[in-house]
Every structure is written in C-alpha cells, then in structure tokens.
C-alpha cells in the first residue's frame, strides 16, 4: 500500500513538473521572440550581440565633412561678378542695413553686390553711433578700397582723401601741439600713426600711451582707429616723429623722473669705480 502511494506521488510530481516547464518555456520563448524581433531594425543582416554592437557603432560614428568641391567655381563666380570693380573707383549705392560696426550698401552695379562701409571709413572724425549718420534707403557715393575675390566681399569708404602731405620740417614747428591721426600698425612696443607727414609715420611708444603701465598696446589703440596725439619730439635729420597720448605736464614729469634716474645711475657707476 505504501509503495503504491509513493508511485502515485511520483507520477503526479512528474506530470506537474512537465506542465510547468513547458508553460515556462513557451512563455519565455514568446518574450524572447518579442525582444529579438527588433534586431532587423537595429542592423539589417546582423544577428545577436553583433547586431547591437553594430547599432552602437552606427549611432556613435561620425562622418568627416567632405571638402567643398565647388570652392574653385565659387571663387571664379566672384571674380566674374567683381571683375569690373576697381580700387579707387567711385560708386553709388543705397544703404540696406545698419550695424554697430558699419553699414551695408547695395551698389548700383550690374551684379548684386552689398559692400561694407566700416565705421572707421565713414569720416576722418571718430564715429560713435553709425545710425546717427545713415538711414536705410539712403543713397550715398563712396570709393572702393577693398575687393576680396575669395569671399566676394567689397569694402568702401566715404572718408575724404587727404589733400596734401606736409614735410617733416613743418611738424618740427608744431612740437607740443595735438594733431589727429590714423593708426596704421600696432606692434608689441607701440603703434605707428599716419598724421599726414610725407613718407613718415609718427611713432607712439607704449610708455607714452597712458600714465599707467601698458601691458598690451592693442588694448588702447587698434588699426584704423582715429586718435588724438601730441607731437612729443620731431627730428628732421633722423626722420623721426615721436608722439604721445599723455598730457604735456605728465610727459614733463616723466621726463624729469627719467633724467633723474640717469643721473643717479651715472653717480652710482662713478662711485663703484672708485
């Protein structure tokens, strides 16, 4: 009797185990089928982990931009468009937009060309607000000063030409006076400024820009800036014009201080040689 009950229990356990296992397999395989059914969308033609890796590679990959094969043709198009413009040519145009740095002018030209009139090229005077001098739709006459065939850009100017340049001897008689000039170049040690002298630019040393120590010259003056400078020293024989942006009194003070330093250094050398 006991052995019969044991056999029945074994048969029942075996039956339940088979039913549970088959149900679990069907359920689990169904979930797996739903899960792996997205693989074709991940990477067509790949399977399993390779498919998922392929997705990550594709997602994270970046293609390098191709070089512009039309750059040469664009440059040629710019040349064709601007070839009839010449430096120094007087042109007419209409203001189409106003920016803080200047105005864009649509030239009355056979091709559509918008030229930039930079604020530094508007006048020999310093221009603070461009909108005070121009309005959209205004007609102007200007002079072509820059043509960039690479970019297709045109620069124009409404500044009057300097009538005549003066010999350096005339500036010698003006030492101490304040004149206006345009910054032509900026160096680490100072700036060269066009003050209207024949073949000679005035030199503004960094030590004479401010009473305070000047670390970078370009923090105070930039190319094409209109500046007021004082004629500090003029030497016609050496063809040198030195300029200053400090006051006359300040220059006198610093000159005396420098002269005193030279004297003390000379005395120190004489004492050291005894």
71-157 matches 168-257 in fold:
yes
- CA–CA separation, 243 vs 194, rounded Å? 11
Cβ–Cβ < 8 Å for 162, 121: no
The DSSP symbol for 19 reads: H
The β-bridge partners of 189 are none
Q: Does domain 71-157 have CATH number 3.30.300.30?
A: no
**If phi over 0 gives left and psi between -120 and 50 gives alpha, with beta otherwise, what is residue 204?**
beta
Q: Where do the domains of the chain lie?
A: 71-157, 168-257
pLDDT at 225: 87
3-class SS of residue 111: coil
**Assigned token pair, 269:** 């050398």
pLDDT at 145: 84
pLDDT at 46: 35
Architecture of domain 168-257: Beta Barrel (2.40)
pLDDT at 201: 94
**Assigned token pair, 58:** 């594709």
pLDDT at 40: 38
3-class SS of residue 51: helix
- CA–CA separation, 243 vs 260, rounded Å? 22
pLDDT at 96: 95
> Of 244, 128, 127, nearest to 179 (Cα)?
244
**Following DSSP, what letter does each residue of 180-230 receive, concatenated?**
EEEEEEE-SSEEEEE-SBTT--EEEEGGGT-SSPPS-GGGT--TT-EEEEE
Per-residue pLDDT of the chain (274 residues; tens, 9 = 90+): 545 555 555 555 555 555 544 554 444 444 444 333 333 333 333 333 333 333 344 444 444 555 455 566 776 777 777 878 887 889 999 999 999 999 999 998 777 889 999 998 898 788 889 999 999 999 999 998 888 877 888 999 998 776 567 889 888 888 888 888 889 999 999 999 999 888 899 999 999 998 888 999 999 999 988 888 999 999 999 999 999 998 878 877 777 777 888 788 888 888 888 7
> Of 226, 8, 251, 202, nearest to 124 (Cα)?
226
> Residue 274 contacts by C-beta under 8 Å, 6 or more apart in sequence?
none
Cβ–Cβ < 8 Å for 230, 244: yes
With the CA atoms of 46, 50, 52 and 58 taken in that order, what torsion angle do they form, in degrees rounded to the nearest 10? -80
The β-bridge partners of 115 are 105
């Amino acid at each position: 009797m006991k052995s019969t009950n044991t056999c029945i229990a074994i048969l029942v356990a075996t039956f339940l185990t088979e039913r549970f296992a088959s149900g679990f397999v069907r359920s689990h395989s169904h979930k797996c089928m739903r899960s792996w059914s997205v693989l074709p969308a991940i990477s067509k033609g790949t399977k399993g982990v390779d498919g998922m890796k392929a997705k990550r590679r594709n997602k994270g990959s970046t293609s390098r931009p191709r070089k512009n094969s039309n750059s040469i043709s664009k440059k040629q198009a710019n040349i064709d468009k601007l070839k009839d413009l010449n430096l120094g040519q007087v042109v007419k145009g209409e203001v189409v937009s106003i920016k803080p740095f200047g105005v864009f002018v649509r030239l009355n030209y056979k091709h559509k060309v918008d030229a930039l009139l930079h604020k530094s090229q508007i006048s020999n005077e310093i221009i603070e607000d461009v909108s005070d001098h121009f309005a959209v739709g205004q007609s102007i006459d200007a002079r072509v000063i820059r043509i960039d065939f690479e970019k297709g850009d045109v620069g124009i100017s409404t500044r009057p030409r300097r009538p005549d340049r003066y010999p350096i001897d005339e500036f010698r008689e003006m030492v101490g006076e304040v004149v206006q000039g345009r910054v032509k170049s900026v160096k680490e040690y100072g700036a060269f400024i066009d003050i209207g002298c024949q073949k000679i630019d005035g030199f503004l040393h960094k030590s004479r820009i401010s009473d305070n120590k000047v670390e970078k010259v370009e923090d105070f003056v930039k190319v094409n800036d209109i500046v007021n400078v004082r004629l500090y020293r003029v030497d016609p024989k050496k063809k040198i014009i030195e300029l200053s942006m400090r006051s006359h009194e300040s220059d006198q003070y610093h000159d005396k201080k420098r002269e005193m330093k030279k004297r003390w250094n000379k005395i120190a050398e004489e004492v050291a040689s005894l």
